[in-house]
Amino acid sequence: MLFFKPFGNNFLQVKCITEHILTTYFTADSFSFFGFSMHHFYKNTSRMFILLIYLLAYNAGTAQAQEKFTLHWGSETTLIAGGTAALGLGYFLVNRIEPLQADAVMVMNRNAVNLYDREATYNFSRRLADISDIALVGVAAAPLFLLTGKNMRSDWLEIGTMYSEAALLTTALVTISKGVFKRNRPFVYNPAAPLDLKLEKDARQSFFSGHTAITFAAASFFSTVYEKYYPSSSVRPYISGAVFGAAALTGYLRYQSGKHYQTDIFTGAVIGTAIGYLVPAMHASKAEAEEVPFTLTPGASVISLSIAL
């Protein structure tokens, strides 16, 4: 009965609705991808998300009731305001990017790309780019599954605020980086890619990968928060592996679609993972603070960061 406890009498209804949504939207015409059908890829992906929900439901009755996270509204206001300002700066810089000109594109040579990243200039696929967009939405929504647990539902404000901050900071850093570096995407050097795509502003926003950063931030946040509520869960490694695997798949799809270089993907993964961990860690309650080597202390106009060495 523990398996059904989190949803009460509505569990079967939630199960049916979830399966319907996933099997409806994760359906596509078959085509070859890594030697197997994309129809099977979508089918297996939907099963993975359903399994994730079931695993969360199974453990939802075992969370410890002790307070895990606390909000300090001085810090939250400063963090959100700062993140919003940074995001605005990023959009300002991106809007100032000048698109490439056709004559310049025609003479571009992939040998101008460093040797480590050059292989990416041979990749291009609209279909894989579209799939990566779907993966982005799916992984970014993963932290919502945290609310399937009773104790986590009671902490919805703390969890929701922290995730909003993590998403805001990640998006802000991504946007600023794109506006500052103006790095050409790999497909710009690929003759197979259509010219009209190369002449868009987006073609000069390669560094670093926003899809990868956001999905790894979501995966890291999910794993960090879940571990706080279920520290001795036997399925925690599998759940963390599933969300990080989905994030890694998103990054790989961005690489194979010709949208990003390896360094874009790696940088996005590192930054996203760091933010997804640091935001909830800095909000740890006093009872949990001993496990965290740093704390955030709100002041009148600044936030101080203390690090224990």
More confident call, 193 vs 10? 193
In-domain check, residue 262: yes
Identify the bridge partners of residue 307 per DSSP, sorted by sequence position.
Answer: 294
What pLDDT band is residue 62 in, cutting at 50, 70 and 90? very low
Q: Which two tokens stand for residue 246?
A: 């989905």
Candidate from 57-66, 136-145, 232-241 with smallest mean pLDDT? 57-66
pLDDT on residue 14: 42
Candidate from 21-35, 38-52, 134-148 with smallest mean pLDDT? 21-35
pLDDT on residue 112: 95
In-domain check, residue 27: no
In-domain check, residue 253: yes
Question: Per-residue pLDDT averaged across 2-10, rounded?
Answer: 39
**Alpha-carbon torsion, ordered 292, 297, 303, 307, to 10 deg:** -40
pLDDT on residue 285: 83
Q: Is the pLDDT of residue 26 over 50?
A: no
CA 271, 306, 279, 173 torsion-angle sign: negative
DSSP annotation of 232 reads T
pLDDT on residue 151: 77
What pLDDT band is residue 183 in, cutting at 50, 70 and 90? very high
Q: Among residues 140, 200, 145, which one has the least CA distance to residue 174?
A: 140
What pLDDT band is residue 11 in, cutting at 50, 70 and 90? very low
Q: What is the pTM of this model?
A: 0.76
Q: Which amino acid is at 162?
A: M
pLDDT on residue 149: 80
More confident call, 153 vs 95? 95
What distance separates the 2 farthest-apart alpha carbons in the chain?
68
What pLDDT band is residue 260 in, cutting at 50, 70 and 90? very high
| Average pLDDT value for the chain | 81
Q: Is the pLDDT of residue 219 over 60?
A: yes
Q: Is the pLDDT of residue 307 over 70?
A: no
In-domain check, residue 29: no
Give the count of domains, the chain.
1
CA 236, 239, 244, 245 torsion-angle sign: positive
Q: Domain of 170?
A: 63-307
Question: How big is the chain, counted in residues?
Answer: 309
What pLDDT band is residue 107 in, cutting at 50, 70 and 90? very high
Q: What percent of the chain has a predicted confidence (pLDDT) above 90?
A: 64
In-domain check, residue 22: no
pLDDT in tens, 275-296: 999 999 999 987 655 555 555 4
In-domain check, residue 202: yes
For 217, what's the count of Cα atoms within 13 Å in the CB-facing half-sphere? 29
**Could you give the C-alpha distances from 221 to 140, 147, 215, 272, 285, in angstroms and in order?**
10, 13, 10, 9, 16
More confident call, 196 vs 1? 196
Report helix, strand or coil for 305: strand
In-domain check, residue 3: no
DSSP annotation of 97 reads P
In-domain check, residue 44: no
